[in-house]
Structure 1
Amino acid sequence: MHIVSSFSYTTKLELVILKLEGSGILKEQIIAVPLDRKKGKVALFDSMHRSDGESMMDLASVLSLVFMLLGIIYGYLLPIGPIFLAFLGMVFGFLLGFIIKLLYLKKRSPLNQEAQVDVFLTIKCGSDQQHIIENILWEHGALGIGVKQEK
């Protein structure tokens, strides 16, 4: 039987391995595989084939609408006129919203942050040790555990 668990790479992972070895699991039965993070540029715009769930246009559209409405309202009071001032307000609001969202996403980008490595820990054991190993893994902060029975 194989027990697979995922961890963030912290000292808890080292403690889990030491505790497993202390409970009778041999080093040859434990495999730790770190995952690499994607490196490269983050695409600002979504395409038909890829989407990250972040929209660049939501804040830009809302601010465009707000400034266009203000342009119409105050355009009747100013000699420039409501249509022209509404157009200027729409463009200004769109650019302001787009720049704010762009700066927010650049600051929050996962590639700008220190990448936290995920590690998969695989333990080969007998069915009599399964419960003990799962308890050790859960106690030390496993993100998830899966069990594969051998035939």
Structure 2
Amino acid sequence: MQLFSTFEHTAYIEMAISTLEKKGIKKEHIFVVPLDNRSEEHKLFDNIKRSDGTSLIDIGAALSTAFAVIGASIGFKLAWGPIYWGLIGATVGFVLGVVIRLFTEVVLKKKRRLMKGYHSEIIVIVDCEEEKAETVENILFKHYALGVAKVK
């Protein structure tokens, strides 16, 4: 029986492996594979086949509405009238909202990703007898495995 488990890149992996070896699992039956980090940057704009769920126009739409109302209200006192000033306010609000959203996605979230330090996960594959499978699974979970799967 094989058990597959994933771990974050921490010292708990070494502790889990040494505990497995103490329980009678040979070193040859434990296989550890690190996953590679993504080398390319995340794409900012979505296409028809892939979407990350982040909208660039949500703040723009809200600010466009607010600025249009303010522009139309002030437009009653200005020379061009409320319709033109409402449209100008809507355009300015939309552009400002998109710029704010682009700034947060490109600058702030990139810094947050770097500070958070996403490290690659580790896959640990353990080959053992069916009698030891429950023990191995418990050991892996006690050492903070993210998930464990059994394959007969």
Fold match (TM-score > 0.5): yes
Which moved further from structure 2: 128-137 or 102-111? Answer: 102-111
Residue 3 of structure 1: CA displacement? Answer: 0.3
Partners of 1:58 and 1:24 in 2: CA distance? 57
Q: Secondary structure of the equivalent of 1:47? A: coil
What RMSD, in angstroms, separates the aligned Cα atoms of the two structures? 1.7
Measured against aligned partners, the alpha-carbon deviations of 1:6-60 in whole angstroms (never above 9, x if no partner) come to: 1111111121111111211111111111111222232221110111111111111
- 1:108 partner letter: K
Which moved further from structure 2: 121-130 or 35-44? Answer: 35-44
1:97 corresponds to 2:100: no
Partners of 1:73 and 1:137 in 2: CA distance? 65
2:136 to 130, 133, 138: 133
| Higher share in helix | 2
Partners of 1:5 and 1:14 in 2: CA distance? 14
Partners of 2:76 and 2:93 in 1: CA distance? 19
Q: Secondary structure of the equivalent of 2:118? A: coil
Match of 1:44 in 2: 44
Which moved further from structure 2: 117-126 or 96-105? Answer: 96-105
1:108 corresponds to 2:109: yes
What fraction of aligned residue pairs are identical, expressed as a percent?
A: 34
Aligned residues: 149
Measured against aligned partners, the alpha-carbon deviations of 1:107-138 in whole angstroms (never above 9, x if no partner) come to: 21499523311111100000111111111111
In structure 2, relative to structure 1, the CA distance for the partners of 1:111 and 1:39 (3 Å cut) is: farther
- 2:15 partner letter: L
Partners of 2:105 and 2:148 in 1: CA distance? 32
1:142 to 118, 133, 145: 145
Match of 2:30 in 1: 30
**Structure 1 portions without partners, runs of 5+:** none
Partners of 1:146 and 1:111 in 2: CA distance? 32
Match of 1:14 in 2: 14
Q: Is the 8 A contact 1:44 1:56 kept in 2?
A: no
In structure 2, relative to structure 1, the CA distance for the partners of 1:111 and 1:117 (3 Å cut) is: farther
1:123 corresponds to 2:126: yes
TM-score normalised to structure 2 length: 0.90
